[in-house]
Amino acid sequence: MNAMGREGRRVRVWDLPVRLFHWSLVALLATSWISAEMGGNAMQIHQWSGVSVLTLVLFRLLWGFLGGTHARFASFVRSPRAALTYGCAVMRGDPPRYLGHNPLGGWMVLALLTSLGVQAGTGLFANDDIMIEGPLAVHVSKATSDLLTQVHEVNFNVLLALIAVHVLAALYYLVFRRDNLIMPMITGSKAAEGDDARGGAPWRAVLLLALSGGAVWLLLQE
Ligand code: HEM
Ligand code: HEM
């Protein structure tokens, strides 16, 4: 935890890879949703954007071990008790400020990444009974593909609910706590006391992204 003042210097918090990851994810998820609604030929786009989401999730998992200070799971995954204590402080209206993810936010990041992984993973095995199926559907029975298609549909609603809570939480801090968490996800820095966080080296991010893309490509080979 970091005690933080609101005036004074700005502290670097989110490294460029985390920010690029976040906003690319938002764009790809919107693309996946819109293309699924359109159906037909747009399902080609759906598969590509979904596979890209899978690549990004893999990258973020690796970045959680090899990225900058606040990107690392070790820096923001705290005990359920710590999350509860923080939640109680939110209820009382006086939650402490954190430079990186707060203890509740940390669990939300894990929930979002899990749901995104399940969504993209099940999509690979899904089918629409008519003309389109995920690239790995041929490797499982029709019954299994149907089941995973159901998971794909149900989990999408879970994902939407998580995203709604996530965005509402960001708005809560903005409106009620006068703490803008959104700008730092764009610029990378927060008005705070303290030292700049160590960002992960961009070359390492490029390497890990290539590794994630390569792993997904290998997975999709027949
Ligand atoms: C498709 C929708 C979205 C998804 C899947 C998503 C997912 C995520 C994930 C996984 C993180 C963790 C970042 C990391 O550590 O790598 C995060 C952080 C964050 N997101 Fe989103 N996000 C979405 C939309 C948005 C939108 C629309 C906003 C703006 C209102 C937003 C604001 C933030 C902020 C402020 C953080 C940092 C929270 C903190 O300071 O602890 N997100 N998001
Ligand atoms: C995280 C990214 C993804 C999101 C948000 C997403 C979302 C959706 C949604 C909302 C539907 C419509 C479900 C319905 O009919 O009610 C759908 C259907 C489908 N998706 Fe995805 N999807 C993603 C990734 C993928 C991937 C990676 C693939 C395969 C490469 C895929 C393949 C399919 C197929 C084959 C269907 C048709 C199944 C059906 O008609 O129910 N999806 N997806």
Q: Is residue 3 part of a domain?
A: no
Q: Is residue 35 part of a domain?
A: yes
Q: Is residue 130 part of a domain?
A: yes
Among 109, 120, 196, which Cα is nearest to 152's? 120
Tell me which residues have their CB closer than 6 angstroms to ligand 2: 29, 32-33, 36, 46-47, 50-51, 53-54, 116, 119-120, 123-124, 126-128, 132-135, 149, 152-153, 156
State the total domains in the chain: 1
Q: In this model, does residue 3 exceed pLDDT 50?
A: no
Q: Report the chain's terminal Cα–Cα distance, integer Å.
A: 48
**Could you tell me the pTM of the whole model?**
0.94
What the block records as the tokens of 119 is: 């969504």
Q: What is the mean pLDDT of residues 41-68?
A: 97
| Average per-residue pLDDT for the chain | 94
Task: Using the atom order of ligand 1, give the atom closest to the CA of residue 184.
Answer: 35
- Structural domain harbouring 130: 17-220
Q: What is the pLDDT of residues 112-142, one digit of tens each?
A: 999 999 999 999 999 999 889 999 999 999 9
Q: Which residue has the tokens 């490294």?
A: 15
Residues facing residue 10 across a β-bridge: 191
Q: What is the pLDDT of residues 141-161, one digit of tens each?
A: 999 999 999 999 999 999 999
Q: Is residue 6 part of a domain?
A: no
Q: Is residue 100 part of a domain?
A: yes
What the block records as the tokens of 180 is: 């803008």
Q: What is the pLDDT of residues 10-52, one digit of tens each?
A: 999 999 999 999 999 999 999 999 999 999 999 999 999 999 9
CATH code, domain carrying 176 = 1.20.950.20
Q: Is residue 106 part of a domain?
A: yes
Q: Is residue 9 part of a domain?
A: no
pLDDT of residue 7: 54
Q: Is residue 214 part of a domain?
A: yes
